[in-house]
């Protein structure tokens, strides 16, 4: 399963109403640490295909959603379960740390 590009138009369907836990990567094109963490997020999407949905939300293009979830630093990675954010991490963490964190919610 690949990453889903999240927008205000599909956020409800892809994240809030999802039966699977959802990892949302709040990022921006100009953000160096966001680019550093992107390959790890991709690997998590592949590893947990069918168990975890992974979405990317560009905070510059989706300001309303970024404000709604109080995203003030990027990259921010959030885990949504049952339509609510249940955990988040800020910054470019190594793959092993992200994997250990994500596995808690699967």
Catalytic residues: 31, 34
Q: Specify whether the CB–CB gap between 52 and 104 falls below 8 A.
A: no
Measured distance CA(20)–CA(51) in Å, rounded: 6
Measured distance CA(73)–CA(29) in Å, rounded: 14
CB neighbours of 11 closer than 8 A, spacing ≥ 6?
57, 62, 65
């Amino acid at each position: 399963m690949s990453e889903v590009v999240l927008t205000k138009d599909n956020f409800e369907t892809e994240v809030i109403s999802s039966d699977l836990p959802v990892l949302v990567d709040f990022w921006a094109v100009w953000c160096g640490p966001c680019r550093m963490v992107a390959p790890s997020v991709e690997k998590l999407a592949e590893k947990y295909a069918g168990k975890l949905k992974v979405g990317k939300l560009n905070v510059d293009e989706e300001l309303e959603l970024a404000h709604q979830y109080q995203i003030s630093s990027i990259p921010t990675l959030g885990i949504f379960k049952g339509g609510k954010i249940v955990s988040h991490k800020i910054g470019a963490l190594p793959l092993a740390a992200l994997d250990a964190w994500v596995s808690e919610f699967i």
